[in-house]
């Protein structure tokens, strides 16, 4: 069997990217010692890069961009960890791009990734409604997919079943006897958040209940900001569009000595690693982060390999994680 | 005044890296539209890249590697966020490299960063005691600095005053009447953790107290693992070498209905964003993450600009954040 670039890399004790750079004369920064190792391995294994393979190889930067809103949201930290781990198995490195939900930053980062000729981009943050930047990615023939918030914009998307998540949250609250409920969404109109609300609202209203809706930032301080309005409403239970908002409500409840869950039941979304250390331990809808990352990487690499590869969307299931933050309403 | 590459970038509405790639004929992946914008801006501003400037520019990849043990530790997520933000102001992108504290992975990542000719590396994770990899960075003339755990190995280091952190933790426990205390360190012998212990131990022993020492992984599950041994010791208070270990102790205390802080006082290290949401809110030693990131970026860019730039170390102060996890010992 003919030897491959992988065999050469293994024999030389270097990465595939290094071998690629050496055989494509892009090895300015590589030491002579390393180059010699690669040439020795090529000679020993009688490796013959064919022209097609070479052109494929040389078109690779072995780099993928990951655009996230905020790496300090544990959900995105966990996603980035899993994503980087999956990619590194294939010899790719991850460029971390945090947008802080600023459209300008997102656009700048995406332009920058295009000019660097990255091998792919996973977009977990897209505040802007303008799709020119996606067109620019297409034009540059850079595979990309949308993960999470704006998946309606694209056929290439990997995301969880947000609608089902809303239904599960509603069922849990209904089973505990809640009828007047609240939903905390985001100020920026995201599709995933809208679907969580839709599932929640349909299920609550089907049972004759009501949903009061609130909007805030998708952060811990966003939860704290909206708390006053929420606490003075009629709602006996609240479904938060992410766990960080729920933590912000806990902060506010602590300051006002509002007893959770007795005076207000709370359900989150994400199941970040800290959701089981807050008191009361947070009941939430779990997103399987590892699976999301694996699927994103799989599709991206297939898209890179075959420009005609196409998928509509990859829908990942969610589940309810029952802990201690939901109980019966005080006045029932 | 002659116009600069920055002016061109601003005029063209693209990044400095893009301008650099266009003028250095490394713009294979850049669209004609973008190239035209750059050429138009160059013409308009009558920009003349001189040879020295060009060679300086062309030696840049506008990429910096950040090697961390685990991005899901909120301390490193906060550090990565601040680091990336500082670097992006200067037109650099961040390659995220998570080692998971595996020596092999660290070495692979560092070799990979060398072969990519990055403009700098910040190492926050170095499990291996071998320094060949640092020599390889030197040989490749890639500026790097050590942040956090192994700073004794290098003159180029940015780190907090770990010894002082230990002293502050000890003083707080002594002031509350504790005499038999515990310290939870790491299995891997890190210099920063050793210094935290040294400061703590010196201060406790100076007051006639004792320190029992324990070792575990620097993770939440590491805290839970060591809890049984710790809880059955004589210690009335414990100083954890990071906040995650403290959270792991909280997990274990919850499971066994051990009342914190009445039955055991706890102090952490880092002041991660979640340390004030656990119950009791965690008293801890704060590392100023933003300042650490700023200083690391400053030094790295100076090193890149001037190969003779040298600094011994940058020592960042720490402070005690008093919350609710320290009280008087039960039997005093």
Compute the radius of gyration of chain A from its Cα atoms: 24
CATH superfamily of A5-58: lambda repressor-like DNA-binding domains (1.10.260.40)
Q: Give the confidence band of B54 by pLDDT, cuts at 50, 70, 90.
A: very low
Is the confidence at residue B50, as pLDDT, over 60? no
Check if A5-58 and A63-160+289-316 are the same fold: no
- Cβ-count burial of A4 within 10 angstroms (0-12 exposed, 13-18 middle, 19+ buried)? middle
CATH number of A63-160+289-316: 3.40.50.2300
Residue A34 with chain B: CB contacts under 8 Å: 115
Looking at residue B298, what is its pLDDT? Answer: 95
Task: Express each pLDDT in B160-210 by its tens digit.
Answer: 999 999 999 999 999 999 999 999 999 988 899 999 999 999 999 999 999
Which residue in A96, A244, A266 has the most chain B C-beta atoms within 10 A of its own C-beta, making it the best mutation to test that interface? A96
Q: Does residue A316 carry a pLDDT above 90?
A: yes
* pLDDT for res A53: 40
Per-residue pLDDT tens over the stretch A205-237: 999 999 999 999 999 999 999 999 999 999 999
Distance between CA A290 and CA A7 in Å, rounded? Answer: 29
Q: Which of B200, B320, B171, B221 is nearest to B213 (CA)?
A: B200
pLDDT exceeding 70 applies to what percent of chain B?
93
B63-160+289-315 sits in which CATH class?
Answer: alpha beta
List chain B residues with CB under 8 Å of A136. Answer: 31
Most confident by average pLDDT, A57-66, A109-118, A149-158: A109-118
Half-sphere exposure of B239 (CA within 13 A, CB side): 34
Interatomic CA distance for residues A233 and A230, integer angstroms: 5
Lowest mean pLDDT among A300-314, B8-22, B305-319: B8-22
Checking if the pLDDT of B49 tops 70, the result is no
- Tell me if residue A160 falls in helix, strand or coil: strand
Across the beta sheet with B180-186, the strand order is: B210-216, B180-186, B237-240, B265-270, B283-286, B319-321
Q: Comparing A234-243, B96-105, B219-228, which segment has the lowest mean pLDDT?
A: B96-105
Tokens representing B119? 């403009």
Q: What gap in Å lies between CA B52 and CA B55, rounded to an integer? A: 5
| pLDDT value at residue B133 | 83
pLDDT in tens, A110-122: 988 988 889 999 9
**Per-residue confidence (pLDDT) for residue B101, from 0 to 100:** 85
Q: Where does residue B67 rank: exposed (0-12), middle (13-18), buried (19+ CB within 10 A)?
A: buried
For the segment B102-133, what is each residue's pLDDT rounded down to a tens digit? 888 998 899 889 888 899 999 998 877 677 88
Q: What was the pLDDT predicted at A25? A: 58
Percent of chain A predicted with pLDDT > 70: 93
Decide if pLDDT at A52 tops 50.
Answer: no
CATH homologous superfamily for B162-287?
Response regulator (3.40.50.2300)
For chain A, the helix, strand and coil percentages under 3-state DSSP, each to the nearest 5: 45, 20, 35
Helix and strand counts by DSSP (H, E) for chain B:
12, 12
Express as a percent the part of chain A with pLDDT over 90.
63
Chosen for mutation from A13, A72, A243 (greatest number of chain B CBs closer than 10 Å) is A72
Q: What is the predicted pLDDT for the residue at B38? A: 81
Higher pLDDT, B325 or B129: B325
- Encode pLDDT of B56-92 as tens digits: 344 567 899 999 999 999 999 999 999 999 999 988 9
Name the average pLDDT for chain B. Answer: 89
More confident residue, B59 or A69: A69
Residues A207 and A169: beta-carbon distance below 8 Å: no
pLDDT digits (tens, 9 = 90+) for B280-296: 999 999 999 999 999 99
Contact state of B112 with A93 under an 8 Å Cβ cutoff: yes
3-class SS of residue B53 = helix
Tell me which residue of B164, B150, B6 sits closest to B69, measured CA to CA. B150
pLDDT at B53 over 50: no
CB contact under 8 A, A115 and B279: no
Q: Which of B72, B77, B115 sits opposite A15 (nearest CB)?
A: B115
Per-residue pLDDT band for A4 (boundaries 50, 70, 90) equals: confident
Chain A residues in contact with B71 by the CB 8 A cut-off are 71, 77, 80-81, 84
Query: How do residues A252-263 score in pLDDT, each as one tens digit?
Result: 999 999 999 999
Contact: A29, B115; criterion CB under 8 Å = yes
Q: Which residue has the tokens 């993928």?
A: A64
Q: What pLDDT sits at residue B25?
A: 58
CB atoms within 10 A of CB A104: 10
* CATH ID of A162-286, from 1.10.1740.10, 3.30.300.30, 3.40.50.2300, 1.10.10.10: 3.40.50.2300
> Which residues on neighbouring strands pair with residue B22, listed in sequence order?
none
Q: What is the mean pLDDT of chain A?
A: 89
Q: Which band of pLDDT confidence, cut at 50, 70 and 90, is reported for residue B330?
A: confident
* Residue A15: predicted pLDDT: 83
Distance of alpha carbon A270 from alpha carbon A279, whole angstroms: 17
Give residue limits of the domains in chain A. 5-58, 63-160+289-316, 162-286
């Amino acid at each position: 069997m003919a030897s491959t670039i992988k065999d050469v890399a293994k024999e030389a004790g270097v990465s595939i990217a290094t071998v690629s750079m050496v055989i494509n004369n892009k090895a300015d920064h590589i030491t002579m010692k390393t180059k010699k190792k690669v040439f020795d391995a090529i000679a020993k294994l009688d490796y013959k890069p064919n022209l097609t393979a070479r052109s494929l190889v040389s078109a690779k930067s072995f780099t993928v961009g990951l655009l996230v809103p905020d790496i300090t949201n544990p959900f995105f930290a966990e996603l980035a960890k899993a994503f980087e781990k999956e990619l590194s198995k294939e010899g790719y490195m991850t460029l971390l791009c945090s947008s802080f939900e600023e459209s300008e930053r997102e656009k700048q980062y995406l332009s920058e990734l295009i000019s660097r000729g990255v091998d792919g981009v996973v977009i977990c943050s897209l505040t802007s409604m303008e799709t020119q930047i996606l067109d620019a990615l297409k034009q540059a023939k850079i595979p990309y997919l949308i993960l999470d918030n704006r998946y309606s914009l694209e056929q290439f998307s990997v995301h969880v079943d947000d609608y089902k998540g809303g239904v599960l949250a509603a069922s849990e609250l209904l089973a505990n006897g809640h009828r007047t409920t609240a939903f905390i969404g985001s100020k920026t109109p995201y599709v995933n958040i809208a679907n969580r609300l839709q599932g929640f609202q349909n299920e609550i209203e089907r049972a004759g209940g009501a949903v009061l809706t609130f909007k805030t930032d998708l952060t811990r301080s966003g939860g704290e900001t909206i708390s006053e309005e929420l606490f003075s409403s009629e709602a006996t239970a609240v479904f938060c569009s992410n766990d960080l908002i729920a933590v912000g409500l806990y902060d506010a409840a602590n300051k006002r000595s509002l007893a959770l869950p007795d005076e207000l039941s709370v359900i989150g979304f994400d199941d970040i690693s800290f959701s089981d250390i807050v008191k009361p331990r947070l009941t939430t809808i779990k997103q399987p982060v590892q699976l999301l990352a694996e699927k994103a990487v799989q599709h991206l690499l297939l898209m890179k390999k075959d420009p005609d590869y196409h998928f509509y969307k990859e829908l990942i299931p969610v589940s309810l994680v029952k802990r201690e933050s939901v109980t019966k309403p005080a006045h029932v």
